[in-house]
Chains A and B, each alone.
Chain A
Amino acid sequence: MKTRYETVIGLEVHVQLTTATKIFCGCSTAFGQSPNSQTCPVCLGLPGALPVLNREVVNAAIKTGLATNCRIAPYSIFARKNYFYPDLPKGYQISQFELPICEQGWLDISSEEFAAKRIGITRIHMEEDAGKLLHAANAGSLVDLNRACTPLLEVVSEPDMRSAAEAIAYLKQLHQIVVYLGVCDGNMEEGSFRCDANVSVRPVGQAELGTRAELKNLNSFRFIKQAIDYEVERQIELIEEGGKVVQETRLFDPDAGVTRSMRGKEQAHDYRYFPDPDLLPLEVSEGWIAEVRAALPELPDQKRRRYEEQLGLPAYDAAVLSAERPLAEYFEALVVRHNNPKLCSNWVMGEVLGAIRENNVAIDDCPVTPELLAGILKRIEDNSISGKIAKTVFSAIWQTGKSADEVIAERGLKQVSDSAALAAIIAEVIAANPTEVAEYRGGKEKLMGFFVGQVMKESKGKANPGLVNQLLKEHLQQKT
């Protein structure tokens, strides 16, 4: 009989911070500059250069720690992690080992695919990134140290995840949080949010963890899922065939959809961590933590709950609107100006999202600002325009930047709610369609839709649909 296996996943995420400068020197962290143009004696690792900690990096670490329910350490220290690689000029990476800044946090994840659960966060520590190696066609490898010394937070989870779906849910939530906090731009392609996955399998019921493989080169959510699924299957097959999983680092090859052992790195690592004598210990006071806590933005989970509970939005709307901070801020700015959350939600999720996607603009650059959109919604609610005409007004505002009232006036889009005017149109429609009128009066009431359509067409969409319905009924019945 085939043994059933349980997958165990722990994740290490490297979050690149959005500070203007590097963690231990004043060089810029801007992406995509010419090689080695953003370097100085500190990040080049020149002898005698001394690192000085960027205070903003500590702020970002405290923010992230608080948002992930961590304990913020009152006292933490930096350590040297010693190894040789050409992208590491000093021969050691400054990181934290003992006494990291954040410990013992958690995130709650949920999805339709699994029962809600809590994922433990072991620690979050600050460290510097390495440089970049370019493997040129010629004889050597090229080293660009612009990225060296760029600040990173490493977020280490407990091995609490049991499927790729859970891992993705955890990562998406962490991603959403760091982007919301503004500490990371979240760009996975540029490597701002990088993930290594420790994956092992064990027979169901076994307490002891199986031997794990560390998967690297996972730079999209899709690749992470593919890599984990592949790796789980590989390990189970290996064990079923009587083999043994080897503890090793494996690279994901997105083209082939497989993970491959990284040869040449088999030598056991011995990083000989020790406290970095160049850096003073870090003390974070209660006051400092309280200051950061007070300035924390409302987080996506809190927003989602508030949208449901206080604004009365359906769960789906609340999730869509809270997913990204700029969108949530747009929506909130709209609700402030037009206090009908559900109508606002419909328009933001419908017209606004549709238009910004179609035109490929960011929500912050949406030409129909919350203020302009509120102008449209106001005219829908006071029956000046129908929902359908409102979409025309929306497009016009998108093009011209004018207000709803200006567009409605200029184009004569004001809804006709004048009974006399509508009665005239209705009389025409009834006169022009005697067959349908007879059938309607004979009991074919479904034809009401047809009459409404005709009237709307005659009025060029400007007739007040509610009033048209009411008047049509009266007129059609009158003459029986």
Chain B
Amino acid sequence: MKISEKNVAYVAGLARLSLTPEELKTMTGQMDAILGYVDKLNELNTDGIIPTAHAVPMANAFRVDQVVTSIGTAAALANAPHGADGCFQVPKVIE
């Protein structure tokens, strides 16, 4: 086992996921299997190879600095569960 339940619980916490003890166990087994599989890549000698940052061998996709009409407040808020005064309303952040 490379991955412990503690690792999974930590990552779940960062991702704001609450897992039941059973889920934690299942996830730990699955993640361990996945990472074990990917770990095979470590057998390759990659000395002197520049890490790939992107799957496509391309660079430099740009926009020109020209304003495009925005979608508007109403459309922006259309999917928000709560809105007020043209803003998204969320539970109070600071006491």
Interface of A toward B, CB cutoff 8 Å: 19-21, 25-28, 34-41, 44, 52-56, 58, 75, 77, 82, 84-86, 99, 133-136, 138-145, 264, 270, 272, 275, 277, 279-283
Interface of B toward A, CB cutoff 8 Å: 14, 16, 53-56, 58-68, 70-73, 76-77, 82, 84-95
Given pairs A35-B73, A36-B76, A270-B14, 4 additional interface contacts (CB within 8 A): A37-B70, A39-B70, A281-B54, A281-B60
Q: Are A28 and B70 in contact (CB under 8 A)?
A: yes
Residues from chain B with a CB closer than 8 A to the CB of A52 are: 61-63
Main secondary structure of the interface of A (DSSP, over half): loop
Residues from chain A with a CB closer than 8 A to the CB of B77 are: 36
Cross-interface CB contact of B68 among A21, A44, A138, cutoff 8 Å: A21
Q: Are A36 and B68 in contact (CB under 8 A)?
A: no
Q: Are A145 and B88 in contact (CB under 8 A)?
A: yes
Can you list 20 A-B pairs, Cβ within 8 angstroms, ordered by A?
A: A20-B67, A21-B68, A26-B63, A26-B67, A27-B68, A28-B67, A36-B77, A36-B86, A36-B87, A53-B61, A82-B14, A136-B84, A139-B92, A141-B89, A143-B89, A280-B54, A280-B56, A280-B58, A282-B59, A283-B59
Q: Are B67 and A35 in contact (CB under 8 A)?
A: no
Residues from chain B with a CB closer than 8 A to the CB of A264 are: 94-95
How far is B67's CA from A26's CA once the two chains are assembled, in angstroms? 5
Known contacts A86-B90, A281-B54; is-contact A37 B72 (Cβ 8 Å): yes
Q: Are B54 and A37 in contact (CB under 8 A)?
A: no
Tell me the total A-B contact number using a CB cutoff of 8 A. Answer: 132
Cross-interface CB contact of A55 among B55, B63, B85, B92, cutoff 8 Å: B63
Q: Are B93 and A77 in contact (CB under 8 A)?
A: no
Residue of A at shortest CB range from B68?
A26
Known contacts A55-B65, A141-B94, A280-B59; is-contact A41 B71 (Cβ 8 Å): yes
Query: What is the minimal beta-carbon distance from A471 to any residue of chain B, in angstroms?
Result: 67
Residues from chain B with a CB closer than 8 A to the CB of A86 are: 88, 90, 93
How far is B53's CA from A281's CA once the two chains are assembled, in angstroms? 7
Known contacts A35-B86, A77-B53, A280-B61; is-contact A141 B91 (Cβ 8 Å): yes
Residues from chain B with a CB closer than 8 A to the CB of A20 are: 65-67
Known contacts A37-B72, A280-B61, A281-B59; is-contact A27 B54 (Cβ 8 Å): no
Q: Are B14 and A143 in contact (CB under 8 A)?
A: no
